[in-house]
Amino acid sequence: TDTGWLTLSADRYPVLTLTERSNVLLGGGRVVMRVRSAAAQAAGSGSGSHDVAPDEAQGGDALFARLKALRSKLAASAGIPAYLVFTDAALRDVCRKQPTSLDGFLEVSGVGKSKAEKYGKIFLGALREGGV
């Protein structure tokens, strides 16, 4: 609340509410903060392929839609439900982290060695090309 993004009511049971200032953020007009992944912090690197940025800073909605389309195409060709390729949460994490290597792809929530080997190069290619 000190930053002006939220207000706290003075009621018996206080409630957090958004301020007018937060509407700018919700509209995608401003980056509030950047967070580095735990691996990047442990390595002490200032910037690298593991940096995490807010979705809006990376064109998150359009990228998420492209990754969902790719996931649907892969699932349809394998005859499996799309969520078995990657969940929406995993795709959102890909949008946030935008890994540039298979090691970086392994840091995405919901991605294990098997999925990274099976789909990693395909999704990394889509991230590099900016399309699906």
What does the alpha-carbon distance between residue 20 and residue 85 come to, in Å, rounded to a whole number?
Answer: 39
Which tokens belong to 49?
Answer: 């392929």
Choose from 21-30, 44-53, 79-88 the range with maximum mean pLDDT: 79-88
Q: Does residue 53 register a pLDDT over 90?
A: no
Q: Which residue has the tokens 């699906």?
A: 132
Total-model pTM: 0.55
Instruction: Provide the pLDDT confidence category of residue 25 given band limits of 50, 70 and 90.
Output: low
What confidence tens digit (pLDDT) does each residue in 55-68 have?
344 456 889 999 99
Average pLDDT over all residues of the chain: 77
